[in-house]
Amino acid sequence: MQSVCYVRCVRRLWGPAQASQILNVTNMHRSVCQLQHKKVMEDNKPWALISEVGGQGYIEEVTDIMKQHFQIICHKDFLQNPLLHGPKIQAMFVWNALPAPEPALLSSLPSLKVVANGGVGIDHLDVSYITSLGVKVTNTPGVVSNATADIAMGLLLASARNIVEGHQISVNPNTTHTQCQMGVEVTGSTLGIIGMGHIGCKIAQRGKGFDMKILYHNRSRRSVEDEQAVGASYHDNMDDLLKASDFVMLAVNLTPETTGLISHRELSLMKPTATLVNISRGLVVDQDALVKALQSGTIRAAALDVTHPEPLPRDHPLLGLPNVLITPHIGTNTYTTTRRMVQRMVENAMAALKGQTIPNEVKPK
C-alpha cells in the first residue's frame, strides 16, 4: 500500500516522464539492496567440502539441498588453493568414499566440525582418528534400506531366472531361436539372510512376498514381533543356515569380524544348486574362493552388487564366468533415495555445527 501511494505521489509532483525515471532508479536501488542482502546471507552460510558434481560425485539435482544451507566447494577447486579455503570449511560431505578424509586432508581443515557420510557403511572412515580431532562422524541409515533391498531381490531374481542371459539372446543379431537355460524357482524356495539389520529385514519382507521360507543369522536375535512380521526363523549357527538355503543373502556391515566371512569352508557347506547374493561389501567374500566354487560347481551362481576392488580389474576371473551377475554397487542409486541421503547428510551436519543432538552420529567402538 505504501509503495502504491509513493508512485501516485511521484507522478503528481514530477509528471509521467520524470516519474518513470525516478521509479526506475528506485527499482534499481531495491534490486541492489536485495542482491546485497542475498550476498550477506550467502556469506553467513558455513562452508562444506564435497567431492564433485557429476562423475562419481553428486547428481546435479541434489546439490540444491546442500546449497540451501552451505557454501559448497568441490575437492578439485579446494586443491587449487588449500591455504585459502581450508580454514573456512566446517563440514565435509563424503559420497562414494570421496573426498577421502585422510590425515593429510584433515590437517588442512582446522575448522572442520563434522564428516557427514552418505550411506550406512563407514568402513572407509577411520572413525577413531577423525573423532580424536574433535570432529563428529555421521552416516545415513534407514533411508537407504528400501532401495538396497530392492536391488538385492532384483539380483536374486535376475540370477535365478537368467534374465540377463535371456536379454542377450533376444537382442543378439545372430539369434535364430530363443531357447534359454532353465532357471531356478524363487517362489517357495528358502532364503537365508546373513545380517538382519534394517536392510536385512526389508529383504525378508520382500522374500515373504514370494512365499519364501526365511532363515536368518545375526549377531543378536531379533524380537519375536520382528520375526513374526516376516515369518523369519533364527539360526544361531550360520553353518546350519548355509546348508539349508537356496539363496544366501549377505547384508552385513564390513567389520574385522565379517571380513572374509564367506570363504572356502562356508561355500562348501552350501547346496550345489544355491546362489550367493552379496549387497554388503566385497571384502565380506573371499573372491578367490568364490571363483573356485563357481568353476567347480560347488554352488550354482553368484549375484554381486559389490566387489573388491570396484571395479574389478578387467582380467579378473569373476568377469569371465557365465554363472556370475555383477552390478557396479548401485544399491542406493535411485533419485528418491539419493535425495533422502543428501537431505539426511545436511541435517546431520547442521546439527553438529549448531551443537545439537545429531540424528545419526557414529561413534568409535
The residues that are catalytic are 281, 310, 329
| 291 within 8 A of 264, measured Cβ to Cβ | no
Question: Cell 531495491 maps to which residue?
Answer: 30
| 112 within 8 A of 90, measured Cβ to Cβ | yes
| 145 within 8 A of 198, measured Cβ to Cβ | yes
236: which residues sit within 8 A by CB, 6+ positions away?
217, 221
| 250 within 8 A of 241, measured Cβ to Cβ | no
Task: Round to whole Å and give the CA distance between 355 and 136.
Answer: 11
What is the per-residue DSSP string for 29-87?
HHHHHHHHHHHHHHHTSPEEEE--BSTTSB-GGGHHHHHTT-EEEEHHHHTT-HHHHGG
Task: Round to whole Å and give the CA distance between 96 and 362.
Answer: 17
Q: What sections of the chain are H helices per DSSP? A: 2-43, 63-67, 75-78, 82-85, 103-106, 127-132, 145-160, 163-171, 198-209, 224-230, 238-244, 264-269, 287-296, 335-353
